[in-house]
Structure 1
């Protein structure tokens, strides 16, 4: 989105036109909407803006639910925005720490600020991109004077009267089309600047979950977060926002239910044991936080291989921190023999999970030439020096652990 499109959109006519559009899910929908709106005499800038926003609103429902239809977005802003359920968890930590005013530095389209404001916190939001700041101001306007949004650099923000900071360093590319988190020295602000600030004022720093762990200071709480099976972020908490005695945490959110595992340090793994009746796949946040050992002990489980993040046990125990599978059989690993074994069992739909082996699950599934009415899960992994193929069926979580 450019300035001309934003100017056309932020008018009564533009916003009414946007709200009147039917959902736009595909490129065919985009083409049809553009053709109809141009035929109706609307300007190219307005048509581009409202059609683009209508499509982004559809995509945003995964993060913002019904609120997405009342918000505006940039593509990069939506990509980087915190899901509303996760933002609410973060906001609760600020509130519980006694924070009344939080500076949201690098606020993006305002996803986290929505969470803060919804819990009654005063928010001073800043974004270095003028268009993104304008969109954040629109999204946060219902909160009135409780929230202020300013166009500016995080490094130049006046923190007088601020109790704590929320910081999301990233590099936004021109055109607001994508974001990059690959090199800390390219982030804006830099990671060094963010960590220095965190040493002086209570701060939450949102980072990508795959960041080099050597960059994490020893005196902060590192919390990895997953939502509905995807590991989405790492947050470093400092000062009063960090919990006493906690340096590693895995927050696992499924739908609206959250479970958390915490520890004072990386947990030692349990010893390797032979394949048992059950196979457990730890959640990505647990793996990133290196708390697999804590989960293993709760399940009376051991490692399948000391270098592979699969657990095995004989006990029929489940946990919100793993996906559990009942082992059906161990099958040959050669494609021809494996294909025959699966066809003999009538397996036509196969979920393939792999670790420690170099295969493309989609190509592998095609090569197996499956047919039949049954479905199953196949783990293709390495145990010691051997490749192993383990057929399993998923154990559904109890409703209380869903």
Structure 2
């Protein structure tokens, strides 16, 4: 969004236009009809921006709750913004480390800055895009946080940091194309080394969850993977007092708690023999953050479990142990996988609906479900995987939360 459009949306006519766009969206008006209506009082590009902002506010509610209705967003910045739970967790890490003020480099429209300010931190936001910087300042004002948040429209690579701590969330899209190499980020990840050379000791870095563990090691940073709503949303690097003593951590956010599993990556821990062909009464599917953190063996120890195969992140255990780090299923039956055998087993149990999961085998869940001819009222989960060179099927039922120990 260009700066002139952003500035107009902050004027009284712009706010009225946004209110009208929001009402049209709530009434489920077709986009063509809504834009035609909005163009009666605004130029086409302004009307389009208002409609997009109304849609962004609705999407933003998933990350910012009721606050989204008063906030201003830019589409790409909203996509990269942390969820409210994740942002609150970031803030808590700084507070626990004794930080009182930080600089939020590449601050976007202020998503993390809002959480930092609400946690009591004094925040300096640096954002080079003029429209995003304008919206960051307006969002702080709209949420009564303007005394806690100061916004500078500047290039993070050139900004003179004066705080002892930094939050760094570089852009991982360039020209709308996702980039993978850390030095292709904007600014590049090496900016962190420049900051440390200048004496900034306590740095938190938010990156994509697919980052290689070696990158954190090369930067001498603690590594963490954060899961929210069952999805590994981000990887985090921590330096200085923010760094945990363990090499890596998997953190799972739930609606009422934060759960952390810390330890040594699987490749540096003792080997765990795979489960035997007749072992176990419960099947565990580790949370994606546990898998990305390479802490499956650590989890296996905690659950008294064994992997179905050394190369596959599925676990089998003789007993049910409640854990936030995996989804538990009660095993009903297990057998060598052949499609006809699976079909027969499901029909014998009156299964009419299935969820199919797979790892380590070439079968696609959607194709298997499409082939199955099911009759019945029961629902079951089918896990297709392998033990050594043998493909197996596990029929199981998910353990409901209230049944967990």
TM-score (normalised: structure 1):
0.91
Moved more, 299-308 or 358-367: 358-367
Q: In the TM superposition, what is the alpha-carbon distance from 1:102 to its structure 2 partner?
A: 0.3
Which position in structure 2 is the counterpart of 1:121? 121
> Among residues 190, 193, 197, which one is paired with 2:191 in the alignment?
193
Asked if 1 retains the 8 angstrom alpha-carbon contact of 2:216 and 2:222, the reply is: no
Say whether residues 1:384 and 2:382 are aligned partners.
no
C-alpha distance in 1, partners of 2:348/2:403? 34
Asked if 1 retains the 8 angstrom alpha-carbon contact of 2:213 and 2:223, the reply is: no
Moved more, 327-336 or 138-147: 327-336
C-alpha distance in 2, partners of 1:140/1:179? 29
Which position in structure 2 is the counterpart of 1:184? 182
Q: In the TM superposition, what is the alpha-carbon distance from 1:293 to its structure 2 partner?
A: 1.8
Moved more, 353-362 or 20-29: 20-29
Which position in structure 2 is the counterpart of 1:61? 61
1:2-401 to structure 2, matched below 5 A, reads 2-20=2-20, 21-22=22-23, 24=25, 29-38=30-39, 40-141=40-141, 142-160=144-162, 162-174=163-175, 178=176, 180-198=178-196, 200=199, 201-217=201-217, 219-243=220-244, 245-263=245-263, 266=266, 267-274=269-276, 275-331=279-335, 333-398=337-402
Asked if 2 retains the 8 angstrom alpha-carbon contact of 1:332 and 1:338, the reply is: no
TM-score (normalised: structure 2):
0.91
Asked if 2 retains the 8 angstrom alpha-carbon contact of 1:85 and 1:256, the reply is: no
C-alpha distance in 1, partners of 2:27/2:191? 41
Asked if 2 retains the 8 angstrom alpha-carbon contact of 1:347 and 1:371, the reply is: yes
Alignment length, in residue pairs?
395
C-alpha distance in 2, partners of 1:147/1:352? 48
Indicate how the Cα distance of structure 1 residues 61 and 369 shifts in structure 2: closer, same or farther if over 3 A, else same. Answer: farther
Indicate how the Cα distance of structure 1 residues 31 and 256 shifts in structure 2: closer, same or farther if over 3 A, else same. Answer: farther
Task: Structure 2 unaligned segments of length 5 or more: list them.
Answer: none
Q: What is the DSSP-based 3-state SS (H/G/I as helix, E as strand, rest coil) of the residue aligned with 2:334?
A: strand
Q: In the TM superposition, what is the alpha-carbon distance from 1:118 to its structure 2 partner?
A: 0.4
Q: In the TM superposition, what is the alpha-carbon distance from 1:273 to its structure 2 partner?
A: 1.6
C-alpha distance in 1, partners of 2:247/2:280? 32
Indicate how the Cα distance of structure 1 residues 371 and 126 shifts in structure 2: closer, same or farther if over 3 A, else same. Answer: farther
CA deviation string 1:203-226 (max 9, x = no partner): 001111111222112632111100
Indicate how the Cα distance of structure 1 residues 234 and 198 shifts in structure 2: closer, same or farther if over 3 A, else same. Answer: farther
Asked if 2 retains the 8 angstrom alpha-carbon contact of 1:336 and 1:368, the reply is: no
Moved more, 49-58 or 335-344: 335-344
Indicate how the Cα distance of structure 1 residues 117 and 186 shifts in structure 2: closer, same or farther if over 3 A, else same. Answer: same
C-alpha distance in 1, partners of 2:403/2:105? 38
Asked if 2 retains the 8 angstrom alpha-carbon contact of 1:280 and 1:322, the reply is: yes
Asked if 2 retains the 8 angstrom alpha-carbon contact of 1:110 and 1:136, the reply is: yes
CA deviation string 1:278-304 (max 9, x = no partner): 110111111111111221112111111
Task: Structure 1 unaligned segments of length 5 or more: list them.
Answer: none
Asked if 1 retains the 8 angstrom alpha-carbon contact of 2:322 and 2:404, the reply is: no
Indicate how the Cα distance of structure 1 residues 318 and 148 shifts in structure 2: closer, same or farther if over 3 A, else same. Answer: same
Q: In the TM superposition, what is the alpha-carbon distance from 1:135 to its structure 2 partner?
A: 1.9
Indicate how the Cα distance of structure 1 residues 385 and 28 shifts in structure 2: closer, same or farther if over 3 A, else same. Answer: farther
Asked if 1 retains the 8 angstrom alpha-carbon contact of 2:17 and 2:38, the reply is: no
C-alpha distance in 2, partners of 1:268/1:209? 25
Q: In the TM superposition, what is the alpha-carbon distance from 1:179 to its structure 2 partner?
A: 6.1
Moved more, 201-210 or 361-370: 361-370
Indicate how the Cα distance of structure 1 residues 308 and 23 shifts in structure 2: closer, same or farther if over 3 A, else same. Answer: farther
Indicate how the Cα distance of structure 1 residues 400 and 24 shifts in structure 2: closer, same or farther if over 3 A, else same. Answer: farther
C-alpha distance in 1, partners of 2:3/2:30? 25
CA deviation string 1:327-384 (max 9, x = no partner): 1112563334423432332322211111112232222211213343221111111221
C-alpha distance in 2, partners of 1:122/1:139? 15
Q: What is the DSSP-based 3-state SS (H/G/I as helix, E as strand, rest coil) of the residue aligned with 2:356?
A: strand
